[in-house]
Amino acid sequence: MKIHARTERILLRDWDASDLDDYAKIIADPDVMAHIGDGKPRPRSNAESFIATALGHQATRGWTPFAVEHVQTGSLMGFCGMDDKIGRLDFGWRYSKEFWGAGYGYEAAAAALWVSQNTFSLTHITSQSYPENAGSIRIMEKMGMVQIGEGAEFGRPLVVYGFKNEWPDGLLA
Ligand SMILES: CC(C)(COP(=O)(O)OP(=O)(O)OC[C@H]1O[C@@H](n2cnc3c(N)ncnc32)[C@H](O)[C@@H]1OP(=O)(O)O)[C@@H](O)C(=O)NCCC(=O)NCCS
């Protein structure tokens, strides 16, 4: 299995079909999904289609939101990386609750950003969040991203972040 980056505590790696049960458990947790999309937990079928898409992208272009693995235990923590299903590069992250609040989110994001820019030459990265998701927005800020636009989803406002040098006039210019 391809490993894209390794820190002391985490691996960013390709997905494997055997990740299905663990990923399905993560997205079945209402707390994990509270600030994503319609805010509702997702069924196993959603995990199946997510992993099928990820396996396809790994085999073709090489990148997809990477699986994040906990080095010490070998557990699947969640994902971190780029998706393009909204028509631009959307940098996102999602972890099982047991791993929150210990710096993993930023650690994985910094590693995923490096790989995305240096291995896959991706540019014009954006990241979006509901404004109340303070942890997610803080990760963007710690990577040096600034607000470049706004939007809305499911009747809720969204903030969109990016790197100033890539979006000098903001998202909609
Ligand atoms: C959002 C999420 C990725 C944060 O991951 P994490 O591993 O807890 O984040 P970190 O521990 O690396 O913290 C990063 C920064 O955010 C801050 N932070 C984390 N959670 C926070 C919270 N709930 N409220 C305020 N600040 C928070 C941390 O203090 C840290 O800032 P600091 O270094 O200045 O102290 C995680 O909570 C998660 O997976 N949530 C569910 C999925 C989700 O909402 N994804 C994003 C959708 S836009």
Mutate which of 36, 77, 91, 93 for ligand 1? The one with the most ligand atoms within 8 Å of its CB, which is 93
Q: What is the dihedral of CA 10, 113, 61, 12, to 10 degrees?
A: 0
| Alpha-carbon distance values, 85 to 38, 81, 92 (Å) | 17, 13, 12
**Closest ligand 1 atom to 137 CA:** 16
Provide the whole-model pTM: 0.97
Task: Quick: pLDDT tens for 143-171.
Answer: 999 999 999 999 999 999 999 999 999 98
Among protein residues, the one with the nearest Cα to ligand 1's atom 32 is: 138
Among protein residues, the one with the nearest Cα to ligand 1's atom 19 is: 135
Q: Where are the domains of the chain?
A: 3-121
Task: Quick: pLDDT tens for 47-82.
Answer: 999 999 999 999 999 999 999 999 999 999 999 999
Task: Quick: pLDDT tens for 19-56.
Answer: 999 999 999 999 999 999 999 999 999 999 999 999 99
CATH architecture of 3-121: 3-Layer(aba) Sandwich (3.40)
